Amino acid sequence: MNELRFRGKDRYRPSWPHFAALGLGLVVEGALTFTRLGLAGSCWLLGGTVALVALGISLSLRSETTVGAAGITISSGIGRSRSYPWQEIRWIDVRETESRYGRVLAARITLADGRRRTLPALQHSPRYPDPDFRADVQRVIDRWEASTDPAARVRPPERLRNRVTPEAVGLVLGVLITIVVVLGVTMGG
């Protein structure tokens, strides 16, 4: 059985529009901070921003997921890999989230202790589309199903954050803020 490898350097390719947006952001940051922090402070802040962005890009490009006969190995890009044997993996699914750029899909595993891990470089988004995403996820699921007993596959319960929408949270917070303001005005007056 051959290993399946999903590497960040094959998926994430910074483009000229990304660098242009970064450059524009740095110019705006530099202009806004120069008046408050002076030249030295502005240079330190810009240098820190560039270092953090470079670190993030480096980690993304070095991240990978390897699916083999023994299980799944996740490398976050900082030189540390973690292997999860098939017996420890209870469920594999696709997490769907909405961002300002559109719908983002990411494969993830649920472990025996309930923890969930996103599989790096096995993702699909409008910024980094992957036409083979569904097929790749299905290949991982097929390997998992071939390597585990059906009784060991347990779908995790929905978490509260998956059941509560941001709109519902906003509505509840709005009502609570209104009640606090009304109580504050009536008690203070």
**Model confidence over 140-155: pLDDT tens digits?**
999 999 999 988 888 8
The closest of 135, 141, 120 to 63, measured between CA atoms, is 120
Query: CA–CA separation, 119 vs 181, rounded Å?
Result: 45
With 80 as the cut, is the pLDDT of residue 108 above it? yes
pLDDT at residue 90 in the model: 94
pLDDT in tens, 82-98: 999 999 999 999 988 88
Average pLDDT of the segment spanning 61-71: 90
Q: How many C-beta neighbours within 10 Å does residue 33 have?
A: 17
Of 131-135, 172-176, 185-189, the range with the lowest mean pLDDT is 185-189
pLDDT at residue 137 in the model: 94
Helix (H) or strand (E) holding 177, with range, is helix 166-188
